[in-house]
């Protein structure tokens, strides 16, 4: 057992959001299972919740792909700029 002050990790916000989403999902599932509904209604609600969750994850995945592609493009542009700035220096060093 660790004694002392709690030391959060650098990814504390991401971890907190992850646990929040897990808690919301578990709470929603328990609420649906414990609600006084017929089996047909419960299955319909579960299917709707499942489809909504898949859509949300798909949206997040698409957004993450877009951000990754932007980052790669910016990195490539930055590398091209550095190469263009370093060319005169490399030419000068080759001549001497």
Tens of pLDDT, residue by residue over 15-26, are: 777 888 888 888
Rounded to a whole number of angstroms, the CA Rg of the chain reads: 26
- pTM here is 0.47
Tell me if 70 sits within 8 A of 62, measured CB to CB. Answer: no
Give the structural domain span for 68. Answer: 12-95
d(CA 78, CA 71) in angstroms, rounded, equals: 10
**pLDDT of 11 above 60:** no
Q: Classify residue 5: in a domain, yes or no.
A: no
Q: Classify residue 3: in a domain, yes or no.
A: no
Q: Classify residue 71: in a domain, yes or no.
A: yes
Q: Classify residue 36: in a domain, yes or no.
A: yes
Q: Which tokens belong to 30?
A: 């328990």
How many folded domains does the chain comprise?
A: 1
The sign of the torsion formed by the CA atoms of 45, 47, 50, 56 equals negative
Instruction: Give which of 17, 20, 22, 44 is closest to 32, Cα–Cα.
Output: 44
Q: Classify residue 2: in a domain, yes or no.
A: no
- Per-residue pLDDT tens digits for 29-84: 787 777 777 878 878 888 898 899 899 989 989 999 999 999 999 999 999 999 88
Q: Classify residue 80: in a domain, yes or no.
A: yes
């Amino acid at each position: 057992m660790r004694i002392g002050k709690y030391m959060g990790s650098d990814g504390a916000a991401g971890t907190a959001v992850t646990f929040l989403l897990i808690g919301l999902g578990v709470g929603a599932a328990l609420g649906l299972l414990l609600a006084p509904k017929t089996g047909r209604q419960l299955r319909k609600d579960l299917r709707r919740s499942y489809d909504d969750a898949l859509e949300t994850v798909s949206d997040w995945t698409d957004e993450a792909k877009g951000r990754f592609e932007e980052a790669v493009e910016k990195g490539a542009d930055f590398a091209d700029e550095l190469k263009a700035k370093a060319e005169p220096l490399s030419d000068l060093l080759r001549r001497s």
